[in-house]
Structure 1
Amino acid sequence: MTAPLMNPGLPAAGTEAALREELALLRQEAERLRRLLETAASVTWTDSGDDALSPSWTAFTGQPPEQMRKGGWLQCLHPDDRQGALAAWERAQSGNLPFRARYRLRRVDGTYVWMLARGMPVLGPDGAVREWVGTCIDIQAQALGEERAAFLARASELFSSSLEASATLASLANLSVSALADWCIVDVLHPDGHFERVQVVAADPSHSTLAASVQRLTPVPRDRPVYPPAVALSTGRSTLVPEVSDALMEAVAQDADHLEMMRRVGIRSLLTVPLLARGHILGALTFLITTSCRRYADEDLQFAQELANLAGLAVDNARLLHGAREAVRLRDEFLSVASHELKTPLTPLSLKLQALSRAVKAHPDSPLAPVIEAHVETGHRQVRRLTELMNDLLDVSRISAGTFRLQREDVDVAEVVREVTERFAPRFALEHCDFRVEAPGPVCGSFDRSRLAQVLDHLLDNALKYGAGTPVSVRLAAEGPVARLTVRDGGIGISKEQRPRLFERYGRAVSERHYGGLGLGLYLARTIVEAEGGSVSVDSCLGEGATFQVELPLSRP
């Protein structure tokens, strides 16, 4: 018997079972891959009509699949990110290339979350694109870290650009409302102990009037403060309130007006951190969310504390600088008053010495005449020295106050050099210095005659002090449009390290215990020369003397 023929249109029972088993395995594998994809990505999506491939998009954004297609997905992106994402999508589609973009995707609660979107084309047997599939991976933590690092860098740059505490706090408040808060409030604890609200900035310009009203409120701490800025100012503790309720506002309000103001602002979430530096409370920063669904959390508190640390350091530095400037101002004011007061008794003393000198000259035959005359001359010399020191102090006060002025006239510099050096010649002879002067004239220009003489006074006094017993020379030469004055001594010299500070106020190259003076002579010489449009420099090595060179313009525009 022959076996019956099988119907070729029907699969054998074994083959059908095998197909069913294969299909089941494919379904399991597809489900496995889908689960794996959902584990790796926050959102999966497709542009095909298969709604089963993108349920997570709908779950995350609340957008139905039919609205997602034909560019509708762009409506779920932050408005600022749509153009860039669309351009990346069109580039990928035009070349069948992988799609990649970073954008903020709106969550169903209205919060935007940073996503890294990737997509790939799925090709059919004919090589044409059948559909696009892709994922969106949550990179909110990474993006937020990058944003905050850039924010802190920008804050540091702004803080370092100003050395005034008020400008620092204004920069802080304006910077914060652009990235961290809808409102920023800055309260300050002044060194004298009183509190002041110095900055209130709202992101919405229409709230400027309300912000001004909030700024008029004073965060006066109580014995047991509960109002967050008062807590920070009194105790240095931070406050984080993720959700601000009306009951909470009633509990922390300082009075009825304060409560009404908080309600008008519409606080939804609040964060307050103290400004601290060197263990002292300098103020408090308060950040408010009033419009968005976002709420402050622990990571926001940590970031705000980092920002407050930067601001506290900047404010502390500004206060230290202000204190230093005030100390310098008071010192200069004291020097000015002291100079005037000290000069007052010098005038009658000088007159008495002159009278005594005349009396001695009237009795030349007296055996005491030479002794008295020597003492009178010593007294005159010391009075002149005290007068010069007082004048230097007065000049420093004038420079600090901005009242230092020159009275220019036509001057023969050579004549001034000869007059000053003739006055110094006896002093150099007394110190056994070989003193040489070379000042051929005329060397004419427009200068303040007395100030020009003062410059040479200080240079020669410096040479006499540090080059005593060594050759000292003065040379004046006109070289084209410039007069060059050189004073050279063979004294102790100046080390390379000390040269930069030599012309600074109170600058010294040696210890004041071994050499007297106020350390003002070369500073005043530099100030006068630069005011005349010239320059002064020094060339010296330790133990090999020093050469000071002054250049002055002989013609002016």
Structure 2
Amino acid sequence: MTAPFVEPGAPSVPATGAEAALREEVSQLRQEAERLRRLLETAATVIWTDRLGDARSPISPSWTAFTGQPQEALRNRGWLQSLHPDDRERALAAWEAAKAGRQLFSTRYRLRRADGTYVWMLARGMPVLGPDDTVHEWVGTCIDIQAQALGEERAAFLARASELFSSSLDPAATLASLANLSVGTLADWCIVDVLHSDGHFERVQVVSADPALASLAAAVQRLPPVPRERPVYPPAVALATGRSTVVPEVTDALMEAVAQDPNHLEAMRTVGIRSLLTVPLLARGHILGALTFLVTTSGRRYGNDDLQFAQELANLAALAVDNARLLQGARDAIRLRDEFLSVASHELKTPLTPLSLKLQALSRAVKAHPDSPLAPVIEAHVETGHRQVRRLTELMNDLLDVSRISAGTFRLQREDVDVAEVVREAAARFAPRFALEHCDFRVDAPVPVHGNFDRARLAQVLDHLLDNALKYGAGTPVSVRLVVDGSLARITVRDGGIGISPEQRPRLFERYGRAVSERHYGGLGLGLYLTRTIVEAEGGSVSVDSRLGEGATFEVELPLTRS
């Protein structure tokens, strides 16, 4: 529709009611269009349009303003050149699929800003259909989602870092994993400095994202971060004071100011540091080291958000390193303890041998004078001494076995063994002790049961189980039974004693594990641990069935045939 013709100089003709209404409607549409345009400009970083068949298409002044890419360069898919190379193929596939299906175009990609920095964008577009139901135009927006994408990226990075930290209990391996994980994602270079417990500093890791710079990285690693009295070099500041440093733009003047010596200055210039971030590794109030991240090639510049994230990462790493060091210290303490127990066991056994010989000589002397009124008293004391020597010898042997297990020198010497005979011999050794405790003691091992076992160790298993029954089932019926079940020999030791609570059973076969207080029952808590170790070394298993106050039944299964 066109406006009515009016001759020049002719008086104006008042508009008809229909024309006035039309003009009002056009005005409102223009206002609505302007409002929508301003709303889009507020909500989106870039607004674009692609008019099909238009030689100027696509048109986007805001794209040009954001990326610096000239308008004419957008044609023939030229807009893809402003996307990160890793995102171009995916973005083009989404665009072609949307056009083919005349559906919503939606994808995420990194768009290069005019200063060279890539920013994550959410790109969305919709087709505009004409009266003939064909696509006349595409309109869309690019919304800055850098903060969201960076948050997702950092959360994923922390999750991956936590996974790596938990997979290693070696401090050096933990820090090496962190350095390798960081380059390419957080930095072009990562430097790890460590403060050792003895007070000396060591540069333990230097990693570059470019493998071709390995020799330069090795040279940087040879530069120790020894703090001066007033340190200014960022890693030295972190190691000496626990303070972080972020330098968005590293200048040559700054490098000169922080260099520790001419070699250090030359190394920094060769690396080509553009931005720097250093955070301390802190755990339990102690400085464990420092992490330094360098930007050397990209347009990225570190800021306070990066500093906060780096400190969070450093806290995770410091916790992992501290835990690894604590674990290593605990392992060293256990190793020293086991070495001490081994030496102590040998040393304690040394005087037991002559003591045992003296007791035997005294026993013979008493028997040579049976009419002496002191003979019965001395004989009783000698027997008590023999029992205590045997008990001490058993305890020393248990400690020696634990030391052998810890050292990995525990071995079996297998031979053809009649298990029934071993059971009866063990029962005969314990029968007098059960009689003293007024225990009804029964043995059921009537027929030979042959297998290939270490006879001495098998006897040791029975000794520990019977000793356990005697200790916790004194005054109650005790039985030991041997049966054959297919290819298994099953030994069962049952007592009617105090029993074991369900929560105590899992730790019963652990080293120094106890189900009761050591105040009321003696021993080292090693018998059942050694029993399990021996039985499992023989290819068998040991279990317990018990209820508090209802006694306990220990069952040992041993294979009679070996594959």
Q: Decide which of 155, 158, 166 is 1:152's aligned counterpart.
A: 158
2:364 equivalent to 1:358: yes
Q: Is the 8 A contact 2:195 2:201 kept in 1?
A: yes
Q: Decide which of 18, 39, 43 is 1:36's aligned counterpart.
A: 39
CA distance in 1, matches of 2:313, 2:517: 45
Q: Decide which of 273, 279, 282 is 2:285's aligned counterpart.
A: 279
Q: SS at the partner of 1:47?
A: strand
CA distance in 2, matches of 1:333, 1:414: 37
2:195 equivalent to 1:189: yes
**What is the aligned residue count?**
550
- Equivalent residues in 2 for 1:125-144 (5 A)? 125-144=131-150
Q: SS at the partner of 2:289?
A: strand
Q: SS at the partner of 1:262?
A: helix
Q: Decide which of 7, 10, 20 is 2:5's aligned counterpart.
A: 10
Gaps of 5+ in 1: 1-7
Question: What do the CA deviations read for 1:225-264 (whole angstroms, capped 9, x no partner)?
Answer: 1111111111111000000111111111111111111111
Distance change >3 Å, CA 423–CA 96, structure 1 → 2:
same
Alignment match, 1:264 = 270
CA distance in 1, matches of 2:39, 2:546: 79
Give the C-alpha shift of residue 132 in structure 1: 1.4
CA distance in 2, matches of 1:125, 1:472: 99
Alignment match, 2:505 = 499
CA distance in 2, matches of 1:321, 1:10: 95
Distance change >3 Å, CA 364–CA 117, structure 1 → 2:
same
Distance change >3 Å, CA 410–CA 52, structure 1 → 2:
closer
Which stretch has the larger CA shift, 12-21 or 516-525?
12-21
Give the C-alpha shift of residue 21 in structure 1: 8.2
Q: Is the 8 A contact 1:440 1:477 kept in 2?
A: no
Alignment match, 1:433 = 439
Q: SS at the partner of 1:469?
A: coil
CA distance in 2, matches of 1:101, 1:471: 78
CA distance in 1, matches of 2:96, 2:121: 19
Distance change >3 Å, CA 52–CA 205, structure 1 → 2:
closer
Which stretch has the larger CA shift, 108-117 or 60-69?
60-69
2:324 equivalent to 1:324: no
Q: Decide which of 22, 42, 45 is 2:48's aligned counterpart.
A: 45
Give the C-alpha shift of residue 54 in structure 1: 1.5
Alignment match, 1:519 = 525
Alignment match, 2:97 = 91
Alignment match, 2:62 = 56
Alignment match, 1:4 = none
- Equivalent residues in 2 for 1:169-318 (5 A)? 169-318=175-324
Question: What do the CA deviations read for 1:80-124 (whole angstroms, capped 9, x no partner)?
Answer: 111111111111111221211111111111111001111122233
2:456 equivalent to 1:450: yes
Give the C-alpha shift of residue 278 in structure 1: 1.1
Q: Decide which of 540, 547, 551 is 1:545's aligned counterpart.
A: 551
CA distance in 2, matches of 1:530, 1:124: 81
2:377 equivalent to 1:371: yes
Q: SS at the partner of 2:86?
A: helix
Give the C-alpha shift of residue 193 in structure 1: 1.4
2:478 equivalent to 1:483: no
Give the C-alpha shift of residue 168 in structure 1: 1.0
Cα RMSD of the aligned pairs, angstroms, is 1.9
Q: SS at the partner of 2:502?
A: coil
- Give % identity: 83
CA distance in 2, matches of 1:192, 1:202: 29
Alignment match, 2:472 = 466
Distance change >3 Å, CA 21–CA 412, structure 1 → 2:
closer
CA distance in 2, matches of 1:21, 1:436: 113
Distance change >3 Å, CA 47–CA 352, structure 1 → 2:
same
CA distance in 2, matches of 1:73, 1:494: 76
Alignment match, 1:344 = 350
Which stretch has the larger CA shift, 286-295 or 347-356?
347-356
Alignment match, 1:106 = 112
CA distance in 2, matches of 1:291, 1:420: 78
CA distance in 1, matches of 2:105, 2:398: 76
Question: What do the CA deviations read for 1:48-104 (whole angstroms, capped 9, x no partner)?
Answer: 356895211111111112211221111111111111111111111112212111111
Distance change >3 Å, CA 318–CA 258, structure 1 → 2:
same
CA distance in 1, matches of 2:129, 2:371: 130
Which stretch has the larger CA shift, 20-29 or 353-362?
20-29
Which stretch has the larger CA shift, 22-31 or 106-115?
22-31
Paired amino acid for 1:39? T
Q: SS at the partner of 2:202?
A: strand
Give the C-alpha shift of residue 441 in structure 1: 2.2
Q: Is the 8 A contact 2:59 2:71 kept in 1?
A: no
TM-score, scaled to structure 1: 0.95
Give the C-alpha shift of residue 36 in structure 1: 2.6
Gaps of 5+ in 2: none
